[in-house]
Structures are given as structure tokens and as C-alpha cells.
Amino acid sequence: MYEQRLLEQLKGRNEIALEEAFSVYEAYISAIVFRIIGSAMAREDLQEVVNDTFYSLWINAERIDLDKGSLRAYLAAIARNKAKNKLREHKTQTLLIQETDQVEVTDFCLGLEKEERVKILKDALDMLKRDEREIMIRYYFYYESTETIAGEMDLRRNTVKSKLMRARKKLKIHLRERGICQ
């Protein structure tokens, strides 16, 4: 209910709602960004990713559908993607062709293959039950501990571990059927 009200205010371009979202979720988003980027980059770069996450919330508020997940999960996904992109930019390898010329190293074919695998993985995650999918995403993509997940989902830690195990088995079968893993 709180997130729905906050999202409606954001859709109405209420700047106070953006400030409220920032104060409520900033620590959580910062933790996600730090887990991904760590000490590989300057503190200013981490803060830039956090700010970009909330900017995306502001720009895309109209498109957010809370029936598909919580606002917190949306922000976490955006933060994770932005942090990974920032880290990728930072680690982009360059080759010196001559002393002054540089070329960015990219492999178009690998990029296409990765996109295809991402789509297959998303499809596989979509076939899981909602709670299994949420646990998998929080554990493997947001790097949350089973204890944290259990506390926030009001489950026992062993229940979270069991759901992770069952979801992994389902994913393995699904991916094996599509020739992704053996």
C-alpha cells in the first residue's frame, strides 16, 4: 500500500515523493551497488550509480507496474544493472594500435550469444513460482544472504534454503532441455 501511494505520487511528478523514496531506499540501493562495485571505483562513482538509479525511477515511474514486483525490487534491479554497467565501463579493455590510437575491445558474437542466454534465463525464472523466483533473484542477483531473505519474507532460513534448492533443480531441468547446461 505504501509503495503504491509513493509510486502514484512519483507518477504525478511529486518531487517530495522522490525525496521520500531516496530516504527510504538509499541505504539498500547503496549496499547493492557497493556489493557489486566494491572498492574497484571511487566513492563518487558509487554515489553516481545510486543517483542514476533514482533518476531512472523518476523518469520511468509511469512504466512501473507493482503487480510484477515491489518498488524495492525494481530499484534493486536498476541499481544492480547500473552498477554492473559502470563496472564494465571501468574495466573496458583497450588495445593500443599506435601511441595515440585506441580501440575498444568488443566481440559482437559473444554479445549476441549472451543476450540469447539472458532471454532463456529470464524465461526459466518466469516459470518458477513467485516466491521461488523472488528468492532466486534476491540470492543470486542482489547477493542477499539466506538469513536476510528469510527475515524480509517472513520465512525460516531453512525454508529459504529448501526453496533455493528446489528452484535450482527446476532451473537446471529447464535449462538442460534448452541445451544450455548439461
Fold of 107-182: Arc Repressor Mutant, subunit A (1.10.10)
Burial class from Cβ neighbours inside 10 Å (0-12, 13-18, 19+) for residue 37 reads: buried
Same fold, 1-105 and 107-182: no
| Cα separation, 143 vs 155, whole angstroms | 18
Q: Which residues of 66-98 are buried (b: 16+ CB within 10 A; e: fewer)?
A: eeebebebbbbbbbbebbeebbeeeeeeeeeee
Average pLDDT of every residue of the chain: 81
Fold of 1-105: Rna Polymerase Sigma Factor; Chain: A (1.10.1740)
Asked whether residue 106 carries a pLDDT value surpassing 50, the answer given is: no
CB 49 within 8 A of CB 86: yes
All structural domains of the chain with their residue ranges: 1-105, 107-182
pLDDT at 1: 78
pLDDT at 177: 78
> Would you mind telling me the total number of residues written for the chain in this entry?
182
Asked whether residue 180 carries a pLDDT value surpassing 70, the answer given is: no
- Cα–Cα–Cα angle for 13, 18, 19, rounded to 5 degrees: 135
State pTM to two decimals. Answer: 0.52
